[in-house]
Amino acid sequence: MKKSSEVKNLPIISLNSGDQLGVVKTLVVNPEKGYVDFLTIENEEWQTSVKAIPFKKIIGIGEFAVTIENEHSVIDLNEIPIANNLVNKNIRISDTRVMTRKGQLVGSVLEYGLNEDTGEIMGLELKVGSEQVIMPSSSVMTYGKDLLIVQEDALESTRKNWMENANEVLEQEVDSLSSLKEKQAELLVGKEVTKDIKGINGEVVVESGTILTLEDVKQAQAEGTSVFVELGMNVR
């Protein structure tokens, strides 16, 4: 699970070209589904239109970047009315007040977490009085622009902080990370490296001109995020 704040401002990298296409500007929420459906892109060269990535086109959301297969995964929102409508609804979730269906004010949303593989909103971090608590998304009835409406017993389902049930969360993170690494590796296998890639100790781990095998990619992954990203940005 990723916090929304961990996704915003991440570089967006095309794995096919190694180019950075921009950074994540906003997460576009589908209020009917309770999912993040799109990520909008900030790029100084795109002044006349708003570009976005459908969540289903994302290869992975890592600590360093959001990765997509190529630039064809990017859409122009002006050409997709449904996506444009979601952007115009401006459902931001964070900093939104939370109220029960009978009109009782609960608190306000500080943050929300989403499944980085599907975009599903998993939980909300709320400020309730002087406390911070976690509310599962299953308690939310309506995601509105000004208010989130929740069930009457919503507070009974809250958890005191993000770290409760840590073993369960850790297992999910490990499984997700493993799946992400496999997807990224598959896209790089067979590509030619255009410069020497050095490991954290300064030694070359993948030479320029190498046609990547799965073993080469895994070796770069083992060197750390920065080495793997450099490899992904220097292939053709």
Does residue 26 sit in the same domain as residue 68? yes
Helix pair angle (166-188, 225-232), 10° resolution: 30
Q: Alpha-carbon distance 109 to 106, whole Å? A: 10
Same domain, 35 and 58: yes
Question: Which of 65, 89, 113 finishes a domain?
Answer: 89
Give the pLDDT confidence of 83-111 residue by residue, as tens digits. 888 988 999 999 999 999 999 999 999 99
How does pLDDT run across 170-209, given as a tens digit for each residue?
A: 455 555 556 656 767 777 888 899 999 988 888 899 999 9
CATH code of the domain containing 62: 2.30.30.240
Same domain for 13 and 59, yes or no, is: yes
The answer to the question of residue 171 being in a domain is: no
The answer to whether the beta carbons of residues 10 and 24 sit under 8 Å apart is yes
Which residue matches tokens 């967006």?
12
Domain span at residue 125 reads 97-166
In a domain, 26, yes or no: yes
Give the pLDDT of the chain (236 residues) as one tens digit per residue: 899 999 999 999 999 988 999 999 999 999 999 999 999 999 887 766 789 999 999 999 988 899 999 999 999 988 888 888 898 899 999 999 999 999 999 999 999 999 999 999 999 999 988 888 888 899 999 999 999 999 988 777 665 444 454 445 545 555 555 665 676 777 788 889 999 998 888 889 999 999 989 888 888 888 887 787 778 778 88
Give a yes or no: residue 56 inside a domain.
yes
Three-class SS of the chain: CEEHHHHCCCEEEECCCCCEEEEEEEEEEECCCCEEEEEEEECCCCCCCCEEEEHHHEEEECCCCEEECCHHHCEEHHHCHHHHHHHHHCCCCCCCEEEECCCCEEEEEEEEEECCCCCEEEEEEEEECCEEEEEEHHHEEEECCCEEEECCCHHHHCECCCCCCHHHHHHHHHHHHHHHHHHHHHHHCCCEECCCEECCCCCEEECCCCECCHHHHHHHHHHCHHHHHHHHCCEC
The pLDDT, as a whole number, for residue 141 is 95
Query: How many C-beta atoms lie closer than 10 Å to residue 106's C-beta?
Result: 22
Number of domains in the chain: 3
What are the distances in angstroms from CA 127 to CA 80, 133, 135, 160? 36, 7, 10, 11
The verdict on residue 175 lying in a domain is: no
| Same domain membership, residue 104 and residue 83 | no
- Cα angle 57-35-73, degrees, rounded to a multiple of 5: 15
